[in-house]
Amino acid sequence: MLRETWTHFILGYYICQACGIVDRDKDRLIVGHKRSRCGTPSLQGQMYFDMTVGAIADLVAEFYPLPPPDSPPSTTPITDPPESHRLAILVFFCTLGEILLQHYLERCMLKLGLPVEIQERLLQDNLFPKQRIKRLFPILTGATWQVAVKTASKSANSEFENTVAFYLEATEKRNQLLHVGNKWLVPPDMAKQCFNQMDSLIGLFVELHNVYLAKPI
């Protein structure tokens, strides 16, 4: 099987229209398929993420040498990219996290039934990720970001806390790069770490959805 693009991988997450769980059950595309979690017959397949998420992730892959053709998307490339590509990967990785966060917050506001103009105002009043995490996230989920990440880690039996710690470090390096022009603060292996953490970063927001937005069964 040929290596999937990140877009293809990300669009393989589907959301159940009945209970709201997000998973990679492609049989949801089959009308009448009984969902494994709630048992409701599927009406149609509905992708959870939009093309923007996949497009940003694919940009990371474009700047990093691809693994062998039969490798999954999360396989680490075997060749290090040049410095300019490493810096681009850092920027795109941080952008991916910001897009995933906004996508999640929009899902939260949609579930709460907030009018579109209110949603836009809340996002405009909290433009930066730190504002959205500290102010907006707790209002929409009822939990602090730290508690939510810990809960998602336990629920999925994954080390999302390590992923978040790395993402915060990467964001700080990205900010120094863009605002101060200090490329020397970016470690040579950070691009490789960004590539390795992408799958977990995406998985974090999937699990946050399943914990806080899916209907309990």
Residue 118: count of CB within 10 angstroms of its CB: 12
pLDDT tens profile 13-57 = 999 888 899 999 888 778 887 777 787 887 777 899 988 998 998
With respect to residue 217, please indicate whether it lies within any of the assigned structural domains. no
Residue 192: give the domain boundaries. 6-212
The verdict on residue 16 lying in a domain is yes
- Size of the chain in residues: 217
Is 12 inside a domain boundary? yes
DSSP string, 17-35: TTT--EE--GGGGSTTPBP
Instruction: Please name which of 89, 93, 90, 97 lies closest in space to residue 64, comparing C-alpha atoms.
Output: 89
pLDDT at 62: 82
Residue 1 lies in a domain: no
Burial class (CB within 10 angstroms; exposed 0-12, middle 13-18, buried 19+) of 45: middle
pLDDT in the model for residue 69: 53
In this model, does residue 98 exceed pLDDT 80?
yes
| Count of structural domains, the chain | 1
**Domain membership flag for residue 110:** yes
Answer whether residue 161 is part of any domain: yes
Q: According to the model, what pLDDT value does residue 2 have?
A: 38
Q: Is the pLDDT of residue 136 over 60?
A: yes
Least confident of 49-63, 74-88, 137-151, 181-195: 74-88
pLDDT value at residue 1: 28
